A and B are shown apart, each in its own frame.
Chain A
Amino acid sequence: MESMKFIIHRVEDWNLLAQQLVQRLPSNAVLTLSGPLGAGKTTLVQAIARVLGASQNPRSPTFSLVRTYKLANTSPFSTLVHVDAYRLESPSDAITLGFDELAAEDGSLLVIEWPERLGSILNALHKPIVRLTITQDSGSEVRRVDFLMN
């Protein structure tokens, strides 16, 4: 198990974090992003997409639940699958929504916001999971990002 810390002072720091993160992601990785509303989860996904040469700038998947982006040929992943579990009422929703199908695809980088709402489903995927948590003190704009790989 490997753990790391990163401090975000300015908007540009998200790009640096994305670059470092992408280098460390194993193939077939699932990246989970935890943190309160407005912490910067989607901003980080946008930075990751830029680093990987995504076809489009990711927009929030909160309403659509899933958005998929093609990645550049030079990228270690073929597609970026951006999932947002924010609106799910129970982990079983994820099955009805075809979440297991998405996870079964090889070569994609699965990024999941609000992974807490998926319960134990993630563990059943049998994929390497990188867990990232963004925290922020009240009244401060500085974000602390912790990540844990196992």
Chain B
Amino acid sequence: MRILGIETSCDETAISILNVSEKSVKVEQDLVSSQIPIHQKYGGVVPEVAARSHVPETVALITQALGKKGMKAFDAIAVTSGPGLATALRVGIEAGRVMAMLSGKPIVGVNHLEGHLASSWLNAENRKRWQYPMLALVVSGGHTELVLMKEACKYRIIGQTRDDAAGEAFDKSAKLMGLPYPGGPQIAKLALEGDVKGFDLPRPMLRDGSFDFSFSGLKTAVRQAWEPWADVRAHGNATLFEQKKRDLAASLQQAIVDVLVTKTISAAKKHKVKGVLLVGGVSANLMLRERLALEIKTQLVGVAFLPSDKLYVTDNAAMIAAAGYWRLKKGEKHDWKKIEAKPEWNL
């Protein structure tokens, strides 16, 4: 079965075709707008596009994904229905509705968060060890959630951020330190040669007994820690300035990873899960991956560690198609006339 995945919930426009059979799951097309040069998308003609407009992107990417096969390129459609920005969501949904109406093929609306969960399932090794109940740590620029996956398509959010997401904490701290956007990868790179004990940063809510997070206070802590050093370079000591920057990056990464890993491990213990998923853009962070893998190995014997491939950690449509497949397999399909945007859809 070939599923056409459509994702337009926030910044990215993404289209994919996922081929699922008894034996295999194959991503045949995986197009993400920001990663394709403009002249390629529009066949050499660059239209006058308003910034962040999903409309021309969606049309261009679907055309490219379907190729000569046209409507025969897929058997079903999966489209992100929420959560996200209403205006952005509606573009993908309208595209999906038109395709469903013209082709007569089934369509399902998918929750973006469930898509992130399914990104782990795209990995063949992970599928072999897929056994409920599982716990997922979803970490990105907009999400920091601990999701208990009791059985297929049955979820409960047992913890989440009360203010800023983990990815936001990376980005905004980087901004405060004068680093270019996006901050996460910059922090990780600098941290490699920094001292994690260089600065004493808080671990918010680490031992409060809940599985919730709070990263907002880190901004203030980073700003205060950085203030005395921000001017050091101006006073001629560039070496010290660079070293302090690396130390702060290392201390910050350590603080964020400590909280994420500690809470994930204790939630996994409490709910006696058989696997732990790590998904979302921040899961590309190597230190987070390694620390979580290590703690699972030592503290949760026999529990599978199931991170998604780095290819699918950020927003993409292959994960939406995968989640759509889960839903179709359960017998779910939606009337194209009734499918609508749900900007505040909780998993």
Which residues on A are within 8 Å of B, measured CB to CB?
Answer: 37-38, 42-43, 46, 57, 59-60, 62-68, 89-90, 92-93, 95-98, 101, 138-139
0/1 per residue, B210-252, Cβ < 8 Å to A?
0000001001101110010000000000000000000000000
Residue from A59, A66, A89, A98 in contact with B161 in the complex, judged by beta carbons closer than 8 Å? A59
Report the number of A-B residue pairs with Cβ-Cβ less than 8 Å.
Answer: 81
Q: Chain A: which residue is nearest B219 at the CB level?
A: A38
Q: Is the CB of A139 within 8 A of B227?
A: yes
A95 to B163, CA, bound (A): 26
Q: Is the CB of A60 within 8 A of B165?
A: yes
Q: Is the CB of B52 within 8 A of A42?
A: no
Q: Is the CB of A90 within 8 A of B51?
A: yes
Q: Is the CB of A96 within 8 A of B87?
A: yes
Q: Is the CB of B51 within 8 A of A92?
A: yes
A25 to B: closest C-beta gap in Å = 23
Q: Which 6 A-B pairs have the closest CB atoms?
A: A98-B87, A63-B142, A38-B219, A63-B141, A38-B220, A60-B164
Which residues on B are within 8 Å of A, measured CB to CB?
Answer: 10, 50-53, 83-88, 140-143, 160-165, 167-168, 172, 175-176, 216, 219-220, 222-224, 227, 343-344
Q: A92-B50, A97-B87 are in contact. Are A42 and B162 (CB under 8 A)?
A: no
Q: Is the CB of B165 within 8 A of A67?
A: no
A42 to B142, CA, bound (A): 14
A109 to B: closest C-beta gap in Å = 16
Q: Is the CB of A59 within 8 A of B84?
A: no
A–B Cβ pairs within 8 angstroms, 9 of them: A59-B165, A60-B161, A60-B168, A65-B85, A68-B343, A93-B52, A96-B52, A97-B85, A97-B88
Q: Chain A: which residue is nearest B176 at the CB level?
A: A37
Q: Is the CB of B163 within 8 A of A60?
A: yes
Residue from B162, B172, B224 in contact with A59 in the complex, judged by beta carbons closer than 8 Å? B162
